[in-house]
Structure 1
């Protein structure tokens, strides 16, 4: 989808008059920013009071870059104390599918060794996965033990459903046999892709017969110590076709990526294929119970925290860096959440007016947490739609009772899918700058 223009999709700062925006720009600290993306983030940055875009080689205080820019420029860029950039240097330790699984497996072994099998079992939230071609023989052994099962192949570093397919026969993956079958020239060829073979969740939770997954936003502002925030808004992405295992070649049945679904012949762009996560939470509560859904969302919180802890010691921490992750979570028909993948550059392109407004809220509050204007005290448990869920340890709600504080859940301060009264919260929290009225 092409970039949404501000004139069509009104960002949340857009209710200011031109005069008000100009006064804000004069009264707030000036932040020079650079942005390498042409989507919703560009609209949000352009409308943020006091922020000015710089081009090409201009000096910047804030850079929302893509990972290609980071890879080419980070090590050659001098950054002063106040400067911020939107990725950690080796973010791929969590966001490449093979590295994510490698780090989770290592973390699970560490927990079993240090805290016992019960604690290690808390990491049982990602499907059985093998990296090919390196673990081809190990995969074949498991494949033969579970004859008839469905597996899914994914390239380790692509997105939007590209290169993904399902299979049940080994002959379908002969191109990914072990390294020994390749010549040295092939091994050194940068174009030879690694894939992961992952056990397919054959019993997904269905709504109206359709499969869906959750896109949830988690922000990390530091890895040492770990400080992580969870956003209240998110969405469920639905397939456009009723679920069935009888046809594993139909991507419209099995892949929920919007980039895939919007190419379906009967896709309706007016209806789209998303629910806001608040709508999903209400649906699940009505169909099951409040207690069941609370347990589910605590288990989802556990996924966020454990996955971040699994890479805490390998991510290169840098005070200039923050990361906005897009987590993809799948529910099975037992209401067990599964971590499918983590995205370093979650799509910021909107598929509808509602989607655009939600992404504007996420991005505006991300900038509030980054706090280039130095308005926060550092002790906040909530900023806009973000709830602080980990700050070198679990963060609890002010009203958490003794049963919560004594439980084994990792965090109790999150409100994923709950009411997001961010505008009122921001008005109460931010004190005006000298000569500046409240936002």
Structure 2
């Protein structure tokens, strides 16, 4: 997919070293080194020599033409809910925020070690004691929409459409792997959900780029600003409404919701999905599967499970 910057992983890093053995740093050819399975912006740095790359690190092409807010870099955090992979159902929440760097952006090759110009991670930018301001470093989508409209004549809804496409394709590429994992652990997909934090950067041509998908987005309130606490609380309330947490009796420990018997697991998964579609979404919006996009995206599945196909047929024959 062309929405992901060129990236070399541990499996392809030797190939990278061969191609870039004579690498010389330049403004139009910048690469970032990132630790694998890391967080909080730890140890992110610019590549200066192929010998800088250590074991369990990845190298990714740096987006050197980012769209700016008041002269600073930013990326967008979207919260994505996946309520099972078999069948696959994807939701995106309208609450989100922009993470903004603490210093104005430029590409001065002599100051590449000043990571506060180039990385938007909040925890890292807090270390910038001279220029860090919480209110300027975390900006709600509502404020971002107004800024982009005023400064760039850009409708945020157009960005959201492209981002939804990125999210759907990215989650689909994992589908067969997630189903195999569920099967190996003997788990039922309708009892599983994942909340992802998807980070998107927009370049000066208004093209969104996928920076990363966080499998453990920050949920600890003590680390959040007041605005983010409010947004996150609403996101979690909406999440629990969709996944249908069933209350239990404190007396006998039984579910207070009536039991229903199904002919087989496929029927159970489909009926529970239909029930899920009728629940209040709050700020979430289902982006896949929809009657309008099943045909568009089914070609991106490496394998189409019988349950996914059954749900798609059910949606196409009804108004879900």
| 1:269 Cα deviation after fit | 4.9
Check 1:270–1:213 CA distance in 2 against 1; reply closer, same or farther (3 A cut). closer
Distance 2:71 2:133 in 1: 20
**Structure 1 match to 2:5:** 127
Cα-to-partner distance string for 1:138-167 (whole Å, 9 max, x where unaligned): 213443698531110111111011121112
Q: Tell me the distance in 1 between the aligned counterparts of 2:130 and 2:296.
A: 46
1:305-350 deviation per Cα after TM superposition (whole angstroms, max 9, x unaligned): 0001000111134332100000011111111111111111101234
CA distance in 2, matches of 1:270, 1:218: 24
Which of 284, 289, 292 is 1:386 aligned to?
A: 284
Other-structure match for 2:71: 209
Gap regions ≥5 residues in structure 2: 183-188, 248-256, 258-273, 299-320
User: Alignment partner for residue 162 of structure 1, among 42, 46, 61?
Assistant: 42
Q: How many angstroms does 1:304 deviate by? A: 0.4
Q: Aligned residue for 1:140?
A: 17
Question: Separation in 1 of the partners of 2:147 and 2:279?
Answer: 28
8 Å CA contact retained: 1:236, 1:277: yes
CA distance in 2, matches of 1:309, 1:257: 27
What's the CA shift for 1:195? 1.1
Distance 1:136-1:268 versus aligned 2 partners, 3 A rule: closer
- 2:164 paired with 1:286: no
From the superposition, tell whether residues 127 and 281 of structure 1 become closer, same or farther in structure 2 (CA, over 3 Å).
same
Deviation of 1:262 after TM superposition, in Å, equals: 1.1
User: How high is the TM-score relative to the length of structure 1?
Assistant: 0.54
Cα 1:238–1:274, aligned 2, differ >3 Å: closer, same or farther?
same
- Do residues 298 (structure 1) and 161 (structure 2) align? yes
1:334 aligns with 205
TM-score after normalising by structure 2 = 0.73
Contact 1:125 1:303 in 2 (8 A): yes
Q: CA deviation at 1:194?
A: 0.9
What SS does structure 1 have at the residue aligned with 2:20? Answer: helix
Give the equivalent residue in structure 2 for 1:224: 86
| Contact 2:197/2:214 (<8 A) preserved | yes
Deviates more, 1:226-235 or 1:148-157: 148-157
State the secondary structure of the residue aligned to 2:52: helix
> 1:216·1:328 contact (CA, 8 Å) conserved in 2?
yes
Q: CA RMSD in A?
A: 2.7
Equivalent in the alignment of 1:309: 172
Superposed displacement of residue 211, structure 1:
0.4
Per-residue CA deviations over 1:50-89 (Å, capped at 9, x if unaligned) read xxxxxxxxxxxxxxxxxxxxxxxxxxxxxxxxxxxxxxxx
In the alignment, structure 1 segments of 5+ residues that lack a partner are 1-122, 177-192, 397-404, 411-439
Deviations 1:165-203 (A, max 9, x none): 112333433xx3xxxxxxxxxxxxxxxx51111011111
Q: Post-superposition shift, 1:368?
A: 1.1
Paired with 2:101 and 2:48, the residues of 1 have a C-alpha distance of: 21
Aligned residues: 258
Q: Secondary structure at the match of 2:135?
A: coil
Counterpart in 2 of 1:427?
none
Asked if structure 2 preserves the Cα contact closer than 8 Å seen for 1:214 and 1:236, the reply is: yes
How many Å separate the matches in 1 of 2:134 and 2:57?
35
Q: Is the 8 A contact 2:101 2:119 kept in 1?
A: yes
Residues 1:337 and 1:268: Cα distance change in structure 2 (over 3 Å): same
Q: 1:381 to 1:128 in 2, by over 3 A?
A: farther
Contact 1:228–1:390 (8 Å) recurs in 2: yes
2:214 pairs with 343, 361, 364, which one?
Answer: 343
Are 1:194 and 2:71 matched, yes or no? Answer: no
2:119 is matched with which residue?
255
Distance in 2 (alpha carbons) for counterparts of 1:395 and 1:140: 46
| CA spacing shift, 1:409–1:306, aligned 2, 3 Å | closer
SS at match of 1:330: strand
Alignment of 1:28-427 (within 5 A): 123-132=1-10, 134-143=11-20, 148=26, 149-173=29-53, 176=54, 193-246=55-108, 247-269=111-133, 271-289=135-153, 293-315=156-178, 316-317=181-182, 318-349=189-220, 350-373=223-246, 377-380=275-278, 383-391=281-289, 394=290
